[in-house]
Amino acid sequence: MWSEWKDEFLFPPPAEVFSRLGDMASDGLLTEALANTMRLGIQGYVLSLVIGCVIGALVARVGVLRAAFGSLITGIQTMPSVAWVPWAILLFRQTDATIIFVVVLGTTPAIANGLIAGSDQVPPLLLRAGRALGARGVAAYRHVILPASLPGFVNGLKQGWAFAWRSLMAGEIISVLPGKPTIGGQLQIERGFSHADGVMAMMLVILAVGILIDALVFSTLERRVARRWGLAENG
């Protein structure tokens, strides 16, 4: 039995975990926390998408920028998101901006690298054909580079979401927002009160949301792009 290794209260049975989850849902805590978390996550991800696309497009096509910042982008991507949280707290205190800042720093490099990788896979022949037809500068990005790099870019978007979700949880767990429940913050509160059932309930929510968003949004988008670009069978 688990209780022979650790105290029994640390390993509550599934019935207790789901009961605690039901209590949170019935009193509105779970709904409010989930709404706050998703709002912060979406804001951070959208901001990361804009910044990542600009950085990725510039670095992908400008050799000087790639030499100067290509390795830096990858280096930032490898940094654990939790490492940004102390600095974010110093900059923004315990506010929404702290969480969004951590999400942006954790997500932007993945999106930028996805666009860079996708751009690198564009056949040179396609670029030459585009130039011959007058697609230069912004027109080349719009009509040739971005469409051709879309499969690799979508993979970067999917990876970016994974980084965003991890960064979001890291920020919320360490920087609990006063008076504003979040999923990560509630996980930390339950841990503070040694409520193992509450901790496991929040872990289930984190796992379920991560799986659902990936399956319903990014995996679906990935399959559609793959079929549209002839990289998978239709059906």
**Structure tokens belonging to residue 212:** 């659902």
Helix 96-120, helix 63-78: angle, nearest 10: 130
Query: What are the residues whose beta carbons fall under 8 Å from the beta carbon of 15, sequence distance 6 or more?
Result: none
Q: For the whole model, what pTM was predicted?
A: 0.86
Q: What is the pLDDT of residue 132?
A: 65
Q: Is 182 helix (H, G, I), strand (E, B) or coil?
A: coil
The CA distance from 227 to 235, in Å, is 9
**H helix runs in 79-218, sequence order:** 85-92, 96-120, 124-132, 138-140, 146-174, 183-192, 196-213
Cβ contact 99:171 at 8 Å: yes
Cβ contact 202:187 at 8 Å: yes
Side chain identity, residue 61? R
Q: What is the pLDDT of residue 171?
A: 93
- Which residue stretches of the chain have pLDDT < 70? 1-8, 122-145, 148, 229-235
Residue 214, Cα to own-chain centre: how many angstroms? Answer: 10
Q: In Å, what is the CA distance from 42 to each residue of 38, 100, 160?
A: 6, 9, 12
From the list 187, 193, 163, 194, the residue with the least C-alpha distance to 173 is 187
Domain spans of the chain? Answer: 29-228
CATH architecture of 29-228: Orthogonal Bundle (1.10)
